[in-house]
Structure 1
Amino acid sequence: MTNLGISFSATLLVILLWRAEDFAEACSCSPAHPQQAYCNADVVIRARVTGVKEVNSGNDVYGNPIKRMRYDIKQIKMFKGPNQDIDAIFTAPSSALCGVRLATNNTEYLITGKLESDGSMHVTLCDFIESWDSMSLTQKKGLTERYEMGCECKIIRCSSIPCSINNPNECLWTDWILDSSVKGHQAQHYTCIKRNDNSCSWYRGIAPPSKEFLDIEDP
């Protein structure tokens, strides 16, 4: 091979590696506490996937077709969303574009996502999507009663020490520091609830918060 050929091959390899790295880093989002994901979502449902296929969803500015994955689902329960059943969710075709991959083996999921202008539901890797069986009882209870009580609160993730909160309406989320995971004890068993003095505080447990907790009691 000539030096020109070697040079061209090396340049092409560099370009391909650069593009691969570029796509790999295209999807980036900060982890969210399940309550935060619930509050930020337009739609929160429990569902089972019944089928999947790639579909076209129009063209980009250059006339190229835009591909999306369509997951047909059986909605089991809606915790938050429009007054209609969701029969499909859409996502990007690859994880580099924040596309989600869901199993079609009768696994039931808790899925949070955004509602598009045409009424369809769109999900990304930045949304909270978890198998129903892996969720704690506190998380499941939060979907119907607790999480909404803290949607005016702000959950602050502690990613390095020292960390602190600056306002009374904030709850400090320390799972990453204490458990090296965003699925730690606070994510599994705690809810950030607004109290009667408009401050926010972590509440642990399945039972409804007592009046004493909402008034003056520390968690």
Structure 2
Amino acid sequence: MTWTVSSCFVTLAVLFLWRVEEIAEACSCSPAHPQQAFCNADVVIRAKIVGKEEIDVGNNIYGNPIKQIKYDVKQIKMYKGPSQDIDAIYTASTSAVCGVTLETAQEYLITGRMETDGKMHVTLCQFIEPWDTLSETQKKSLTQRYAMGCECRITRCTSIPCMITSPAECLWTDWVIEKTVNGEQAKHFACIKRSDDSCAWYRGAAPPKKDFLDIEDP
């Protein structure tokens, strides 16, 4: 009986340590409204994936090779970023460390960061979506509307009650209302800075009026 109990404890300890390691290596991201993703990104492009390869980028402290995935892309449009076209993006080799899996021949909206080496890097924490899945409002907001609200703060509501603490905030309630971060506000609204320096959600097919003061529908 003693041997059995000890074995159980050893087994449980091993499973526990394995689980802790798995959790530690898992990719964890805080959800962001598409407008936040746009404003926080160094680069925002619409691009088609035309190639994929695994590359070595050095060794870790144990001498094991560190790998990345390089996606060759055909840039269709740049919404935010450097003057030169982006022809490749880089990501970690596995999702455990936030690596992104993209499909060849698929068009995506891709937000990412520009590293000091001049390469565009992406992770699961950034907004990367197939172009065809975006709403018309999201597509049109990329050219003007999102940028008009980059000085605003979008506060995500995770439970009721929730509230804003500043007039320059918009309360994002998709999660509490629809149990998804890809709800109505994410798909059809942008947080816009108004003429009095406060911020409010705006929905509409046309760009906001210069002196926009109230939320309005098309």
Query: Given the alignment of the two structures, is residue 46 of structure 1 paired with residue 46 of structure 2, yes or no?
Result: yes
SS in 2 for 1:162: coil
Distance across 1 between alignment mates of 2:154 and 2:40: 12
- Relative to 1, partners in 2 of residues 1:19 and 1:137: Cα closer, same or farther, differing over 3 Å? same
How far 1:7 moved relative to its partner?
7.1
Specify the alignment match of 1:86 in structure 2.
86
Query: Given the alignment of the two structures, is residue 135 of structure 1 paired with residue 134 of structure 2, yes or no?
Result: yes
Mapping for residues 208-219 of structure 1, pairs under 5 Å: 208-212=207-211, 214=212, 216-219=213-216
How far 1:211 moved relative to its partner?
4.2
How far 1:101 moved relative to its partner?
0.6
SS in 1 for 2:142: helix
RMSD: 2.1
How far 1:14 moved relative to its partner?
4.5
Mapping for residues 1-219 of structure 1, pairs under 5 Å: 3=3, 10=11, 12-23=14-25, 26-104=26-104, 106-212=105-211, 214=212, 216-219=213-216
Q: How many residues align?
A: 213
Distance across 1 between alignment mates of 2:210 and 2:114: 36
TM-score by length of 2: 0.90
Moved over 6 A (4+): none
Distance across 2 between alignment mates of 1:169 and 1:14: 45
Distance across 2 between alignment mates of 1:44 and 1:90: 14
How far 1:93 moved relative to its partner?
1.1
How far 1:218 moved relative to its partner?
4.4
- Relative to 1, partners in 2 of residues 1:15 and 1:52: Cα closer, same or farther, differing over 3 Å? same
Distance across 1 between alignment mates of 2:186 and 2:200: 14
Distance across 2 between alignment mates of 1:217 and 1:32: 24
Distance across 2 between alignment mates of 1:180 and 1:8: 39
TM-score by length of 1: 0.90
Distance across 2 between alignment mates of 1:35 and 1:21: 29
How far 1:8 moved relative to its partner?
10
Distance across 1 between alignment mates of 2:74 and 2:155: 34
SS in 2 for 1:145: coil
Distance across 2 between alignment mates of 1:94 and 1:18: 18
Distance across 2 between alignment mates of 1:139 and 1:196: 23
Structure 1: segments with no counterpart, 5+ residues: none
SS in 2 for 1:181: coil
SS in 2 for 1:148: helix
Distance across 1 between alignment mates of 2:16 and 2:189: 47
Contact 2:202–2:215 under 8 Å retained in 1: no
- Identity of aligned pairs, percent? 60
Distance across 2 between alignment mates of 1:140 and 1:176: 22
Distance across 2 between alignment mates of 1:184 and 1:118: 36
Structure 2: segments with no counterpart, 5+ residues: none
Residue 155 of structure 2 aligns with an amino acid whose one-letter code is I
